[in-house]
Amino acid sequence: MTIFTIDEVRKSFTNGEVKEEILKGINLSLQEGEVTALVGASGSGKSTLLTIAAGLQPASDGKIIFDDKNMADMSSEQIRKVRASKFGFVFQFAHLVPFLTVEEQLMLMLDVSETKFKKQEQKREVNRILQLVAMDHRKNAYPPSLSGGEKQRVAIARAIIHKPKVLFADEPTASLDSKRSRDVMALIRDLTKTLNITTLMVTHDEEMLPYADRIIKMSDGLISPNKDSILELQGA
């Protein structure tokens, strides 16, 4: 099922008298239960596309259709509410609050996302999600005592605790070693399937691509033709 449609999206900036076009008409549909990876050289437009899709910056032209609504027609407050309740975010660094325990990080996210859980239900949901990411045994730990991989697992748990429909992951393994990177990507893939989330990920690490259902290669602000599947990209 298509849950997210990017329709002729363009983005440009004006630097003095020079207009620089970053995205040149992107068309892309995202499916429930799939991990879609955006790859490409630095400056190809992949991170710009992700931030526009996530409502973190506006497109210059085109449509972002989510839940049958064009986000370009929404007010900034409406977009904020969509981000808080329907989207989850994982970045290169975990950005955990250093003085909150693992459990408290997730409880805070439930409050921010305005979920309707009662306090006791919140605790049960936090424990359930921490079990999914294999961090329930560390729920009382503070971020400084966690390894890099553990911090990223907590960041993923925080990103999905409010049951988002879409997970945006921007270089989620860039700060990790190879083994922890594979573990994190396997976790993202498994959670995408288990929770039926739509995941859009930017990565430069080709070792992470086998964990994606679809790979979109970008070049100079465009999607490269005939490069929209893992088999084609890897030459299998």
151: containing domain: 2-234
Asked if residues 9 and 63 have their Cβ atoms less than 8 Å apart, the reply is yes
Cβ-based neighbour number of residue 154 at 10 Å? 25
Burial category of 99 from C-beta neighbours within 10 Å (exposed 0-12, middle 13-18, buried 19 and up): exposed
pTM for the model stands at: 0.90
pLDDT at 236: 32
Total domains present in the chain: 1
Task: Give the integer Cα–Cα distance in Å for 14 and 94.
Answer: 33
pLDDT at 226: 54
CATH classification of the domain holding 161: 3.40.50.300
pLDDT at 18: 82
Mean pLDDT by 10 residues, the chain (236 residues): 93 84 94 95 92 94 93 92 93 93 94 76 91 95 95 96 94 91 94 95 92 94 67 39
